[in-house]
Amino acid sequence: MRHLKKLLCFVAVASAILWSASGFAAEIVIGFSGPLSGPAAEYGQDCVNGVDMAIKEINAAGGVAADGRKFTFRLERMDDKASPELAMANARQLVDKGALAIFEPVFSSAAPMLRINEEECGEFILFAYTSSPKADTTKNNLLIISAPVLTDYAKVYANFAWEKGWRKAAMVVTLGAYGDEWRQVFRSYWERLGGKITADKPANYYTRTDFVAPLSAAIATKPDVMLIGGPSGTTALVIAQAREMGFKGGFLIVDQAKMDAIAQMLDGTKFMENSIGTANALSVPVPMLSSFDKRYRDTYKRINAWEAMLNYQAMLALAKAITAAGTQDNVYAVRAAFPKALPMLGDKYPAEMFGITPAGRIIMPAVLQSISGGKFSKADVYVWWTRTPEEFDQVNKISKIMIPKKMLK
């Protein structure tokens, strides 16, 4: 049976090579599976827009060179409604279409894909847009993680809340692996400082449109601050409902939700007073940011977001890795070439990526911002991967970010 599988694999690969060499098809298929409908659709759309924009720009510039010829990219996008079952079915279909890589922005949907992306004759590089620290422990040889890790955000959030004089925190965070990790990590930091968790009421931010029940239970414990969040759209709804129910404390907004998008949905920052979350996409200035922002807004008629920028840049890094590897169908060679694609700095790109960890996480700063007096603070840029002042200075020397950075200790 194993010999038959290898034979079928050989025939499929040989056919693909002959088809490609014949000149009729010179495309590399890139898959996307994510929530494109339902409460998380805005989040999924920002992610796929970034991939789409990068592909359009690469193709317009002539594509990539590999195996002695030029290739363009074709994006195949599929809606999985943030369902792990649908995501797995989508992944199978995308592999059948010959996808070299699949982008998946929800970790509870990406996690099961990690069980199949190294299957013989069906290998693909999985781009997991997730801050989940569990993603770093999978030991998957075809994984790229294209977001900062949430443990850094949780540490800063806990310190921020403590310095505000808050001592009681409730949690109303999205269900799923990502939300579970946020709750566990924040609880650990918070209790280490001496704080108390008064309520833990996870809720499904991907399907619910009414959060009155979990919010009522949390607010009844009289917390000073609440850890909340999931996709931006439903996070905005949680904030609005909490304020309508009389909650006057602060919000610690998990990194999936974006404060600029939430402020737009809530017609301003009135309901967001004393909040902290991921910094707005335009608040971390680099030379190429304004150019990207204009192109993005002109093309997609929506505000720019980190989801768009980081998925855009991850797709560009993939194209660079293909060129460095000199192959468009050997997934392991392409994945191994990723360090050669980095760093990608702000003089040429809208965000900064400095390298990649052995686990596959792209190294980039964690960026945070708070709201006080109805106004956004200046962004704080945390360099989390350096261990000594000398290493931090080396990052400062090459970085094009035009505001000061901090070393996260």
pLDDT tens for residues 375-386? Answer: 999 999 999 999
Report yes or no on 106 lying in a domain: yes
What is the predicted pLDDT for the residue at 23? Answer: 42
Residue 17 pLDDT > 70: no
195-222: average pLDDT: 95
Q: Which residues contact 81 (CB under 8 A, 6 or more apart)?
A: 35, 36, 37, 38, 206
Looking at the domain assignment, is residue 200 inside a domain?
A: yes
pLDDT of residue 295: 97
> Two tokens at 143?
């994984």
Is 350 within the bounds of a domain? yes
104: its two tokens: 């998946």
pLDDT digits (tens, 9 = 90+) for 297-342: 999 999 999 999 999 999 999 999 999 999 998 999 999 999 999 9
DSSP letter string over 344-396?
A: B-TTTSSS-B-EE-TTSBEE--EEEEEEETTEEPPPEEEE-S--SHHHHHHHH
Residue 176 confidence (pLDDT): 86
The stretch 244-269 carries a mean pLDDT of: 94
Same domain, 96 and 199: no
pLDDT the model gives residue 345? 98
In a domain, 9, yes or no: no
Lowest mean pLDDT among 16-30, 157-171, 330-344: 16-30
Q: pLDDT grade, residue 9 (50/70/90)?
A: low
- Are 239 and 212 contained in the same domain? yes
Is 3 part of a structural domain of the chain? no
- The answer to whether residue 208 is domain-embedded is yes
pLDDT at 206: 87
Asked if the model's pLDDT at residue 73 lies above 80, the reply is yes
State whether 78 and 189 are in the same domain: no
% of the chain surpassing 70 pLDDT: 94
* DSSP calls for 282-351: GGS--TTHHHHHHHHHHHHSS---HHHHHHHHHHHHHHHHHHHHT-SS-HHHHHHTHHHH--B-TTTSSS
Q: Are residues 132 and 182 in the same domain?
A: no
Q: Is residue 89 assigned to a domain?
A: yes
Burial class (CB in 10 A: 0-12, 13-18, 19+), 241: middle
Q: What is the pLDDT of residue 13?
A: 46
Residues 68 and 145 in one domain: yes
Q: Give the lowest-confidence range in 17-21, 152-156, 214-218, 303-307.
A: 17-21
If asked whether residues 145 and 156 sit together in one domain, one would say no
Say whether both 196 and 59 belong to one domain: no
Residue 6 has pLDDT above 90, yes or no: no
Give the domain CATH number at 345: 3.40.50.2300
Give pLDDT tens digits for 331-366: 999 999 999 999 999 999 999 999 999 999 999 999
Q: Are residues 145 and 179 in the same domain?
A: no
| Count of the separate structural domains present in the chain | 2
- For residue 252, the enclosing domain spans 150-280+366-407
Residue 322 covered by a domain: yes
